[in-house]
Amino acid sequence: LAADAPANALALATIGVEHTLESRFGLYQAQGMVSIQLGVPLTEAMARLRAHTYAHDRTLGAEARDIVTRTLSLQADNR
């Protein structure tokens, strides 16, 4: 199984990441990342993540996923 890990991950990705997989964990991981990106406490990091999501008319799950996969960083917004 371990040797197949990257292929498995890809297979899961192609099945589609729908609402059910808008995992709470992705959100918490993104919160931790944003906290470091902006140098702010966790509560503020979540507020900033929500604000960015709202401002760009997205869902929190999609936003969190982009943060965790490094497609998106809130660091630039801070400058």
Partner 1 sequence: MSTLAAERVAEMFVEFADTLVVEFDLVEFLQMVTTRASELVGSAAAGLLLADPQGQLQFMAASDERTELLELFQVQSHEGPCQDCFRRAAPVVNADLRDAADRWPQFAPRAVAAGFRSVHAFPMRLRQDVIGALNLFGTDVGRMETGDVRTVQALADVATIGLLQERTVRKGEVLTEQLQGALNSRIIVEQAKGAIAQMRSCNVDEAFTLLRGYCRDHNLRLSDVARAVVTDPRPIPGLTAA
Could you list the residues that contact partner 1 (CB under 8 A)? 1, 4-5, 8-9, 11-12, 15, 18, 20-21, 23-25, 28-37, 39, 41-42, 68
Question: Nearer Cβ to partner 1, position 13 or 57?
Answer: 13
Question: Nearer Cβ to partner 1, position 9 or 51?
Answer: 9
Burial classification of residue 62, based on how many CB atoms lie within 10 Å of its CB (0-12 exposed, 13-18 middle, 19 or more buried): middle
SS3 content of the chain, % helix, strand, coil (to 5): 75, 0, 25
Question: Nearer Cβ to partner 1, position 11 or 51?
Answer: 11
